Structures are given as structure tokens and as C-alpha cells.
Amino acid sequence: MASLHPSQTASSTKASESSSESTLRPVTSASGYVFPAIWSFPPFFTIQPNPQTFAHQIGLWTQLLLSWAKFHRVFFLDAGAFDGGDCKELFHNQAINRRLQPPAIKQFVTHLLKEGLISADPPQQSSTYLIYWKKPEEWASVIYSWVSDNGLTGSIMTFYELTEGDMAHTTEFYQLPPSLLRRALDVLVKRGKAQVFKGEDVAEGVKFF
């Protein structure tokens, strides 16, 4: 398979942008996240015309997004924001003055949607997306394991208590966005392990079985 590699030169890449493999190194950000060396390769931020190279490029971007978002616990991708919104650190490498442009982000979003790694939130719009560095099914398993381990089956909890309460502070799902929590709980409902209560006068809640 073709790869986006420092030793390759795309026809659309200026010679001045070329970087030798030996000069590229992983970059550690101020937050402690270690960006792979490819993030410092200028053509990585430009759509590659060769289909095989582009497929590899989009795969690398996908791995990078999920890894970066998980590290920072970023749950939203704002495709409508020029700076990338919550993902601006990822999409803009200031050291090499390269930014993933809106057309490239649009193609990236199309790929992520196809792979089921993001979903529009709210639905029926094309700018803000939930990032599934854990899919709803995975969050469902994490939540239910915690409920079982803490003897909470049979109990009723509000959504707020589940993700913001005193017991939630040390969990993976602490401060999970409500829309993503609902998707995870819907999975548990389908599995027969939970019942969701939606009332106008009371907070949304869930009972675990």
C-alpha cells in the first residue's frame, strides 16, 4: 500500500516543503500529548491526489484524531469552525505553519461518518459532531461494569448523578456529554439492562437491572 511518507514527493508539493525522514521527530505538546512525526510533515495537511496515498493519509488522520481526543477527553469536532474548535491544536501545526483546511476537514468528516466514528450532534446538521473515541456500545459496557461493581443494579440515578456525582469523579465516563450518555444508555435499554425515565418535571434518570 502506498503511504504518506517523508521520502515521497507528491506532484502538488513544493520542493521547499520536502522534509527528510531523519529530520522528523515526534512532537510533545504543552499538554503532554506526543504527536507522531508525520504531524510535522507539511504534505500531511494537504489532500493527496493519489487515491492510495490519500487512503493512507486519511487513515493516519483518523488514528491521530481518536488518540488525541481520548488523551484530552475531547468529545466534539466542530467542522464549521475555521480553527477546528476544540480540535484546533490538532488541525493547526503552528511550528510548520500548516493547517488542515475546511475542504480537507469536510472529506475527513465524510470518512469518519462512513466508519461510524462520529455522529452529528444535534442530528440533521453538518457542523458539530460527537467523536467516538469510545463508541456508545463501549461506553455502555464501561458504565454497566461500574454499576455492577458498585452494587448499583436495581438503583435509580439521575443523568447528573451518573456523570457528575461524587462517585463519578474517578470514572472514565465522568462529564460524559448528555447526548453521548443517552446513546450509551439506549444500548443498555436494548440489552434489557436499563430503563430510562424522561419526565418534564423531574430530571432525566435511569434504573439499572
- Give me the residues paired with residue 77 across strands: 129
Distance of alpha carbon 185 from alpha carbon 105, whole angstroms: 30
111-118 own/partner pairs: CB under 8 Å, 24+ apart: 111/58, 111/62, 112/62, 112/65, 112/77, 115/62, 117/62, 117/66, 118/77
What pLDDT, on a 0 to 100 scale, did the predictor assign at position 81?
77
Instruction: Of 131, 159, 129, 119, give the one whose Cα is nearest residue 143.
Output: 159
Say which DSSP state 83 is in: T
What pLDDT, on a 0 to 100 scale, did the predictor assign at position 201?
59
Query: Diameter of the chain by CA atoms?
Result: 65
* Amino acid letter, residue 124: Q
pLDDT band at 31 (very low <50, low <70, confident <90, very high): confident
What pLDDT, on a 0 to 100 scale, did the predictor assign at position 200?
64
What pLDDT, on a 0 to 100 scale, did the predictor assign at position 85?
80
The answer, yes or no, to whether residue 34 has pLDDT greater than 90, is yes
Query: What pLDDT digit, counting tens, does each position of 69-116 carry?
Result: 999 999 999 988 766 688 989 999 999 999 999 889 999 999 999 999
User: What's the chain's length in residues?
Assistant: 209
What pLDDT, on a 0 to 100 scale, did the predictor assign at position 203?
75
What pLDDT, on a 0 to 100 scale, did the predictor assign at position 71?
96
Query: What pLDDT digit, counting tens, does each position of 180-203 carry?
Result: 999 999 999 999 999 998 866 567
What pLDDT, on a 0 to 100 scale, did the predictor assign at position 10?
40
Taking each helix axis from N to C terminus, what angle separates 178-190 and 136-149, rounded to the nearest 10 degrees? Answer: 80
The grid coordinates listed for 1 are 500500500
pLDDT band at 19 (very low <50, low <70, confident <90, very high): very low
